[in-house]
Amino acid sequence: MTDPIHEKDLIESTLQDVHGAASRYLARLDDLPAKDPQADALAREFEGELPEDGLGSLEALKALLGRGQIAATRSAGPRFFHFVIGGSTPAALAADWFASALDNNAGLWVSSPLAAQLEKVSLAWLKDLFGLPNQWGGVLVTGATMANFTALAAARQWCGERHGVDVARDGLAGLPPVAVLSSGFIHASAVKALGMLGLGYGSVRRLAADAAGRIDLEALERSLVSLRGAPAIVIATAGEVNAGGFDPIEAMVDVAHRHNAWLHVDGAFGLYARLSPRLAHLAAGMELVDSVISDGHKWLNVPYDSGFAFVRDERLLHAVFGIGAPYFPEAIAGRPDYLMLGPEMSRRARSIAVWATLAAYGRSGYREMVERHVQLARRLADQVNAADDFELIEEPVLNVVCFRYRPGGVSDDELDELNRRLGQAVIDDGRVYFGTTVYAGKVAFRPAISNWRTSDVEVDEILPIARELGARLRAGAAT
Ligand SMILES: *Cc1c(COP(=O)(O)O)cnc(C)c1O
Residue 460 CA to residue 315 CA, distance in Å, equals: 49
What per-residue confidence (pLDDT) applies to 476? 87
Count Cβ atoms below 10 Å from residue 5 Cβ, excluding itself.
6
For a mutational test of ligand 1's pocket, the pick from 187, 235, 293, i.e. the residue with the most ligand atoms closer than 8 A to its C-beta, is: 187
Q: How far is the centre of ligand 1, averaged over its atoms, from the C-alpha of 294 (Å)?
A: 8
Contacts of 478 (CB under 8 A, 6+ apart): none
Q: How far is the centre of ligand 1, averaged over its atoms, from the C-alpha of 276 (Å)?
A: 21
| CATH no. for 363-478 | 3.90.1150.170
Query: Considering only CA atoms, which residue is closest to atom 2 of ligand 1?
Result: 268
CB distance 187 to ligand 1 below 6 Å = yes
Closest C-alpha among 95, 135, 50, 64 to residue 313: 135
Residue 148 CA to residue 187 CA, distance in Å, equals: 10
Contact 236, 182 (CB under 8 A): yes
For a mutational test of ligand 1's pocket, the pick from 204, 249, 266, 302, i.e. the residue with the most ligand atoms closer than 8 A to its C-beta, is: 266
| Class of the CATH-defined domain 95-360 | alpha beta
Closest C-alpha among 181, 196, 96, 185 to residue 145: 196
The ligand 1 atom at the shortest distance from the C-alpha of residue 143 is 7
CB distance 144 to ligand 1 below 6 Å = yes
Residue 207 CA to residue 417 CA, distance in Å, equals: 29
Q: How far is the centre of ligand 1, averaged over its atoms, from the C-alpha of 189 (Å)?
A: 6
**Nearest 10 degrees: CA dihedral of 163, 147, 118, 449?**
-150
Task: Give, for all 479 residues of the chain, the pLDDT tens digit.
Answer: 589 999 999 999 999 999 999 999 999 999 999 999 999 999 999 999 999 999 999 999 999 999 999 999 999 999 999 999 999 999 999 999 999 999 999 999 999 999 999 999 999 999 999 999 999 999 999 999 999 999 999 999 999 999 999 999 999 998 999 999 999 999 999 999 999 999 999 999 999 999 999 999 999 999 999 999 999 999 999 999 999 999 999 999 999 999 999 999 999 999 999 999 999 999 999 999 999 999 999 999 999 999 999 999 999 999 999 998 888 888 888 999 999 999 999 999 999 999 999 999 999 999 999 999 999 999 999 999 999 999 999 999 999 999 999 999 999 999 999 999 999 999 999 999 999 999 999 999 999 999 999 999 999 999 999 999 999 999 987 65
Cβ density class 352-385: b for 16+ within 10 Å, e for less: bbbbbbbeebeeebbbebbeebbebbeebbebbe
CB distance 247 to ligand 1 below 6 Å = no
Count Cβ atoms below 10 Å from residue 28 Cβ, excluding itself.
11
Whether the link from the prior residue into 295 is cis, omega within 30° of 0, is: no
For a mutational test of ligand 1's pocket, the pick from 75, 81, 145, i.e. the residue with the most ligand atoms closer than 8 A to its C-beta, is: 145
Query: Considering only CA atoms, which residue is closest to atom 12 of ligand 1?
Result: 268
Residue 346 CA to residue 90 CA, distance in Å, equals: 26
CB distance 127 to ligand 1 below 6 Å = no
CA distances to 93, 258, 468 from 84, rounded to whole Å, are 19, 34, 24
Instruction: State CA 335 to chain mean position distance.
Output: 29
CB distance 450 to ligand 1 below 6 Å = no
CA distances to 94, 298, 353, 368 from 364, rounded to whole Å, are 21, 18, 18, 6
Cβ density class 205-230: b for 16+ within 10 Å, e for less: ebbbeeebbbbbbebbbebbeebeeb
Q: How far is the centre of ligand 1, averaged over its atoms, from the C-alpha of 38 (Å)?
A: 29
Residue type at 26 in one-letter notation: L
CB-based burial label for 52 (10 Å; 0-12, 13-18, 19+): exposed
Contacts of 413 (CB under 8 A, 6+ apart): none
What per-residue confidence (pLDDT) applies to 1? 56
For a mutational test of ligand 1's pocket, the pick from 140, 142, 189, i.e. the residue with the most ligand atoms closer than 8 A to its C-beta, is: 189
The ligand 1 atom at the shortest distance from the C-alpha of residue 145 is 9
Contact 342, 143 (CB under 8 A): no
CB distance 84 to ligand 1 below 6 Å = yes
What per-residue confidence (pLDDT) applies to 174? 87
Instruction: For residue 335, report the phi and psi dihedrals to the nearest 5 degrees.
Output: -125, 80
Q: How far is the centre of ligand 1, averaged over its atoms, from the C-alpha of 350 (Å)?
A: 17
Start-to-end C-alpha separation, the chain: 59
Contact 143, 294 (CB under 8 A): no
Residue 40 CA to residue 43 CA, distance in Å, equals: 5
> Per DSSP, what are the bridge partners of residue 262?
233
Contacts of 41 (CB under 8 A, 6+ apart): none
Q: How far is the centre of ligand 1, averaged over its atoms, from the C-alpha of 84 (Å)?
A: 8
The ligand 1 atom at the shortest distance from the C-alpha of residue 187 is 11
Contacts of 320 (CB under 8 A, 6+ apart): 153, 154, 156, 157, 167, 168
Q: Where are the domains of the chain?
A: 4-74, 95-360, 363-478
pTM of structure: 0.97
Q: How far is the centre of ligand 1, averaged over its atoms, from the C-alpha of 144 (Å)?
A: 5
Count Cβ atoms below 10 Å from residue 46 Cβ, excluding itself.
11
